[in-house]
Amino acid sequence: MKIMKTLALLSFVIISSGIVYAQDGESVFKSNCAACHTVGRGKLVGPDLAGIDSRRSEMWLVKWIKSSQQLVKSGDKDAADVFEQNNKIVMPDMSLSEGEIKSLLAYVKQAGSASAAVPAPAPKEAVNTTIAASAGQDSSSSFSSPGGMEYFLIALVCILFFVILGLSRVVKTLSAELAKVSQGK
């Protein structure tokens, strides 16, 4: 029983740290934005994000990233203009925390200032990224970004916890049955 309490506590700590774990801005960008956006390398499906921090306020960007359509429907003129300029292609809502969005914006700002010397992508690269985006595929493996492996390990620990919990109940039941048999009941 002591082992079960320890495993439960360990699982809780690991799960809690996984939920609180915030990806850095670059990995947030790569796993959520790179299929449709670049930073200083031209438009893909959505606009190039280089310099976005000078065109929009952080508060506006947080609202846009969380739900672009909610912002458009609220009557925000800038949101409606961006939506129109991008052929009314709906940017999916992002289930990111405000902290993740702010780290994403910090990355975009840093990458945007560093991208001035980086040439635009070859057309084949842009087409492949667009095809992957339209097919609903992530262009990178979930294990290639920081956080992907951690989430996998957390899930594995949870599964193992419940397997061990189930096995302990089976062992407890079998030991009770064995005790009854050995006592002749």
- Does pLDDT of 137 surpass 60? no
**pLDDT score for 34:** 92
Lowest mean pLDDT among 109-113, 119-123, 149-153, 180-184: 119-123
Report residue 89: phi and psi, to 5°. Answer: -80, 125
For domain 23-140, give the CATH number.
Answer: 1.10.760.10
CA 162 – CA 149 distance, rounded (Å): 20
19 conformational bin, left if phi > 0, alpha if psi -120 to 50, beta if neither: alpha
What is the arithmetic mean of pLDDT over 132-151? 54
**pLDDT score for 13:** 57
**pLDDT score for 150:** 72
* pTM tops 0.85, yes or no: no
Domain boundaries, the chain: 1-21+147-185, 23-140
- Does pLDDT of 77 surpass 90? yes
Report residue 43: phi and psi, to 5°. Answer: -75, 140
CA 111 – CA 105 distance, rounded (Å): 10
